[in-house]
Each structure stands twice: as C-alpha cells, then as structure tokens.
C-alpha cells in the first residue's frame, strides 16, 4: 500500500470513528479543484442525508472531532471537509517508496493475477499498414502494459486477417500488372501499394471483380497456383508486420491467423444450423438476434462467401478453453461496436459466461482530412517513419554536432517511436486524432519529446553535479536533515504521491490517456520548479535533498513512459 492510500485509510478511519458508523470509504475522498482548499476533501452531502443534518453543519461538527499525525490541518468549507497532509511525513514516505521500489513504483495487485487476454493489432495481410493501424497497435500495447502493472496476468495477442477477399484483389492486381517484374526489397510494403491500385482498377472493371472472386474461391480450396501465390505473398506481409512490431518494441505471446479458424468455423456453422441456432435467410446463413435488439449477424453470404463471425466464433471459444481466461478484451475501432455486441451475445447463448469487452476507438485523420485505403489518401507506416526520422535526425544533429552518426540515429529513433506512440494514446479512445508529425516532434507542449526531454534534463543536472548515476551514488533515503520546505517541492511530492492512483485509474478505465496526462502535469510542475528554485547552486545539504527529489521525479516519469511503451532518455 502506498503513502497516499495509507493516509486516505487513516482519514476514513478517523471520520468513521467520529461518526460512530463505518459509512465512509477511501474512494469517497476527492482531490479539491483548488489547492488552497487542501490536498483531500470529503463531500458531506450523502453522509449528512443519512444523519438528517445540513452538510455544512456536519462538516463543521467533524472538524472538532478529528485529529491525526499524518495531517497538518483540516477545515470545513461549506459542505466539504478539507484535509491538508503533513508534507514532511508525505515527503519521507513517497521518496522512500520510490527509493525502495524504483522501476516497480506505481504498480499494484488489484488484478489478483487474473488472466486477461488483450487482442489488438488486427491488421490485414496484402494491405498497407498506415497511421490508422498505429492507433490500434499503440493503444493495445499500452492497455496490456497498464493491466500488467495493475496485477493482471496480461496476455497480448494479435489476430491477422489473412484470408479475406482483399487478398484475392491484391493478387489479381499483382498478376495483372506486376508479374515477372523486379520486386523491391520491402515486399510487404509493395503489396500494400498493389492493394491500393487494385481497389481503383476494380472499380472500373466489372470483369476483374469476378476474376478476383473466382481467385478467392481457389485460395479457399487451398490448392493450385493461386493458393501457392497466396502463401508466398502472405509471408511478405507477415515479415513486414514482424519488422514493424520489432521496431516499435511490441511483443505478442501469440499471433492468430484467420485461415487457421475458417474451416473450424464452417463446421460450426453446419452444427449450429442443425441445432437451429443459425438459420437461412434469402440464401444466407444468419444468427437472428432481433429479440435482443441486435439485428442480424450474417455468417455466410448468399453467394457462399464467409464473413468475420466464421473465424471469430471458434477463435473466441479456443482462447477461453486453451488459456483459461477470466476476461477477453478486443481492441477494434468503434465502427465494429454493433458487431462485437452481436458476437458476445451469440457466445453467451452458446454457454460462454465470461467477461468479454470491446474497446473501441475513433478514427485517425490527417491535417488534410480523412484517410482512406481505397482512395490511397493514407500515410503508410513506412512513409511516416522515413519522414519523422529525417526531421528528428536533423534536429538532433543541430543540437549535438559532436555526436557520431550512430548516436544521432539511435536518439532520433527513440524520439520518433515516442512521438508516434504518444500521439496515438494521449487522448481518450473516443476522440478523433488529427495526426501531425511536425506537432508530434515538438519539444514543448503535450508531446512525448517534452517528457523525454524532461528526463534528459534531470540526467544533465546529475551529470553537472559530478554524480554519474544517481541511482547508485545517491541513496534515495530520507534523512532527518533532508527537508523540503519550498512550496514547489511540496507540489512535486504530492504529485508523485498520486502516480499510483493514476496507474490504478488507468487500469480500471483501460485508458492510457490518464497516464499521459499525469506525466505531462508532473513534467510541467518539475520544469516550473527547476526554473524557479536553484538545485546545483543551493547550499550543500539543500542541494543534496533537491537532487534526491528530482531523481525521484525522473524515476516516476520513466515508469509512466514505460507503461505507454516509450523509452525515457538520458540525452537528447
């Protein structure tokens, strides 16, 4: 249990003792909007109602009955009971916790080891991988990290659509326009370009649509030259996806592929049709979910081609059976919300009484407008990376003319990866993102580079202090003579005390944006402190205390960045 949790429990105990009943709990305490009111506050409306007293009168009554070692003061402000924490006690507790736990600071065990599978990065083979896909990838990776930090056994997996009609469209275009031509080194990226051309060509060529449909049936038969070509080109796409995951530091415990479940799904459809769970409608095979206000879920079209549920149904059942899951999370864009409600309802009707969650997210736009794979109005991952690396490399070279090309490139890569990830998760999933790489790479404002630069600045202070590594040279141990009297120091300590709260809330809400916002606020408080309060020029004992303090800030920011999949920087 962290310092702030202990203080909250102590306050709750004192309040309940004063009331004579255990009716107040830690979550009832809130953070006042204005620091002048205190550090924690209890709204007395609900309690006053139970005791049939005016809220303001009850708050005043409680003031006279409560006192505590961990508090400096308490006061009533209308219907609110406000508490000011003893900053000396908090400083020793919080910095002591960070010193002891280091990389583990902020983590908790609320998940109790429950198994949660997070399925994300549901990309397609034979298509381009673009900025929109990156939102899914970064959001999923961060949710996985945050759940693990909250004590869950988080199992990250990916599900790749490698067997849809899009594969046949790409292969038709490849055979029509590129067969026999020299291929580029990045064949997966090349396939995405072929798909973009295929969508345009097929719109003006009805015969080509029929050829693509015929080719899809040949692929589904798993025989012939078309199937062999599908196997070969599928490998190109998978190699490209693996390369992207490696570059961004994304790891999956398992990658599922649609083609592994199609045949099982078709067998299931026959079985469910015989049991009258599914039925025919205008030649199609459907699940009628109208009585649940969920419409109709189509499994097989009237032309015999399969839709998503064919593979998703057996996949869901296998995941729960093989991994003994307590919960399954699917990260797919909000346009699939109805589909997942339908799928989960059908699984429930089949007897799967487990928690299944769809985490939807909104679209990613470019400053020029909406993206579309079909129109080719996209920024692919490869193009984005090249553009961002060029900008970050130029900026790093300007700042460090004495650095080697290798060091400049490595630094630029960390900045770029951080920029991409942070932009994709710094706002809530229900918000549209307008992705602007120039803004993302800025060293000021709500960006990853600002947070990385804050960490680098702290390391620079330690370097100037002649202490090579604050973790080994400075013991993050509160001594009696290390006192933080400055108001800005106390603000930093209180903010760091709230980091475990941010981690827990982000886990409950599956929301990396809460971590991003917290880190930005902590970095702002630190930079305000650094510009206002001398660290290295302070008198010796004060200097030592302030170095301990900023070292704790650096550790907290680095821990939070790790939950977002971003690497903290020592130099920039």
Domain ranges of the chain: 3-85, 381-563
8-state DSSP, 184: P
- Phi and psi torsions of 300, nearest 5°: -130, 130
pLDDT tens track for 253-282: 999 999 999 999 999 999 999 999 999 999
If you average pLDDT over residues 84-101, what whole number do you get?
A: 91
Q: How buried is 124 (Cβ within 10 angstroms: 0-12 exposed, 13-18 middle, 19+ buried)? A: buried
The token duo for 289 is 């979910």
Distance CA 130, CA 372 (A): 10
- pLDDT at position 471: 46
From the options 1.20.1740.10, 3.40.630.10, 1.10.730.10, 2.60.120.260, give the CATH code of 381-563: 1.10.730.10
Please check whether residue 136 is in contact with residue 174, taking contact to mean a CB–CB distance below 8 angstroms.
no
Phi-psi region of 267 (alpha: psi -120 to 50; beta: other; left: phi over 0): alpha
The token duo for 151 is 């004590």
- pLDDT at position 470: 47
- pLDDT at position 370: 59
If you average pLDDT over residues 184-201, what whole number do you get?
A: 94
Distance CA 250, CA 370 (A): 27
If you average pLDDT over residues 150-164, what whole number do you get?
A: 97
* 247: pLDDT strictly greater than 80: yes
Phi-psi region of 72 (alpha: psi -120 to 50; beta: other; left: phi over 0): alpha
pLDDT tens track for 248-257: 999 999 999 9
The token duo for 531 is 């510009």
CATH topology of domain 3-85: Gyrase A; domain 2 (3.30.1360)
- Give the predicted TM-score (pTM) of the model: 0.93
If you average pLDDT over residues 190-194, what whole number do you get?
A: 95
Comparing CA positions, the residue from 136, 160, 508, 124 lying closest to residue 334 is 136
Tell me which H or E stretch contains 159.
strand 153-160
What strands, in cross-sheet order, belong to the sheet with 40-43? 40-43, 80-85, 71-77
* 340: pLDDT strictly greater than 60: yes
Phi-psi region of 20 (alpha: psi -120 to 50; beta: other; left: phi over 0): left
Handedness of CA 36, 38, 39, 43 (dihedral sign): negative
Residue-level length of the chain: 572
Residues 52, 55, 57, 59: what is their CA dihedral angle, to the nearest 10 degrees? 120
pLDDT above 90: percentage of residues in the chain: 85
pLDDT tens track for 395-449: 999 999 999 999 999 999 999 999 999 999 999 999 999 999 999 999 999 999 9
- pLDDT at position 480: 45
């Amino acid at each position: 249990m962290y310092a702030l949790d202990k203080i909250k429990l102590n306050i709750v105990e004192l309040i309940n003792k004063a009331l004579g009943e255990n009716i107040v709990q830690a979550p009832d305490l809130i953070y006042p909007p204005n620091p002048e009111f205190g550090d924690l506050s209890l709204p007395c409306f609900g309690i006053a109602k139970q005791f049939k007293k005016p809220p303001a009168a009850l708050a005043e009554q409680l003031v006279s009955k409560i006192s505590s070692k961990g508090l400096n003061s308490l006061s009533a402000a209308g219907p609110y009971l406000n508490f000011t924490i003893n900053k000396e006690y908090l400083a020793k507790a919080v910095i002591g916790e960070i010193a002891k736990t280091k990389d583990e600071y902020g983590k908790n065990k609320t998940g109790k080891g429950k198994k949660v599978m997070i399925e994300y990065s549901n990309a397609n083979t034979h298509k381009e991988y673009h900025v929109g896909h990156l939102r899914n990838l970064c959001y999923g990776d961060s949710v996985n990290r945050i759940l693990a930090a909250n004590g869950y056994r988080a199992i990250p997996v990916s599900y790749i659509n490698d067997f849809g009609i899009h594969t046949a469209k790409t292969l038709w275009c490849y055979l029509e326009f590129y067969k026999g031509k020299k291929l580029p080194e990045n064949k997966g990226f090349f396939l995405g370009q072929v798909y973009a051309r295929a969508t345009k060509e097929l719109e003006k060529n009805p015969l080509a649509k029929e050829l693509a449909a015929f080719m899809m049936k040949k692929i589904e038969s798993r025989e012939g030259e078309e199937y062999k070509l599908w196997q070969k080109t599928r490998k190109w796409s998978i190699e490209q996806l693996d390369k992207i995951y490696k570059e961004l530091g994304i790891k999956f415990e398992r990658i599922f592929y649609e083609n592994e479940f199609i045949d099982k799904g078709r067998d299931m459809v026959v079985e469910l049709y015989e049991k009258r769970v599914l039925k025919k409608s205008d030649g199609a095979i459907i699940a009628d979910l109208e009585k649940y206000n969920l419409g109709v879920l189509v499994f097989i079209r009237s032309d015999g081609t399969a839709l998503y549920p064919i593979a998703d149904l057996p996949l869901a059942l296998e995941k729960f059976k093989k991994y003994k899951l307590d919960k399954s999370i699917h990260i797919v864009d909000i346009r699939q919300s109805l589909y997942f409600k339908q799928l989960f309802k059908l699984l429930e009707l089949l007897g799967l009484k487990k928690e299944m969650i769809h985490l939807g997210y909104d679209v990613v736009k470019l400053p020029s407008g909406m993206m579309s794979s079909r129109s080719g109005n996209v920024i692919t991952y490869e193009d984005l990376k090249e553009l961002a690396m060029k900008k970050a490399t130029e900026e790093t070279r300007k700042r460090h003319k004495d650095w080697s090309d290798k060091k400049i490139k490595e630094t630029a890569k960390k900045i770029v990866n951080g920029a991409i990830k942070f932009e994709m998760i710094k706002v809530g999933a229900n918000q549209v993102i307008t992705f602007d790489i120039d803004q993302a790479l800025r060293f000021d404002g709500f960006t990853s580079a600002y947070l990385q630069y804050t960490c680098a600045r702290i390391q620079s202070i330690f370097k100037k202090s002649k202490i090579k590594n604050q973790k080994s040279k400075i013991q993050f141990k509160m001594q009696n003579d290390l006192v933080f009297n400055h108001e800005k120091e106390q603000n930093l300590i209180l903010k760091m005390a709230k980091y475990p709260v941010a981690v827990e809330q982000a886990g409950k809400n599956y929301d990396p944006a809460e971590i991003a916002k917290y880190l930005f606020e902590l970095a702002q408080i630190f930079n305000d402190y650094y510009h206002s309060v001398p660290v290295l020029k302070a008198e010796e004992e004060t200097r030592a205390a302030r170095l301990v303090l900023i070292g704790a800030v650096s550790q907290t920011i680095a821990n939070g960045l790790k939950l977002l999949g971003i690497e903290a920087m020592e130099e920039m």
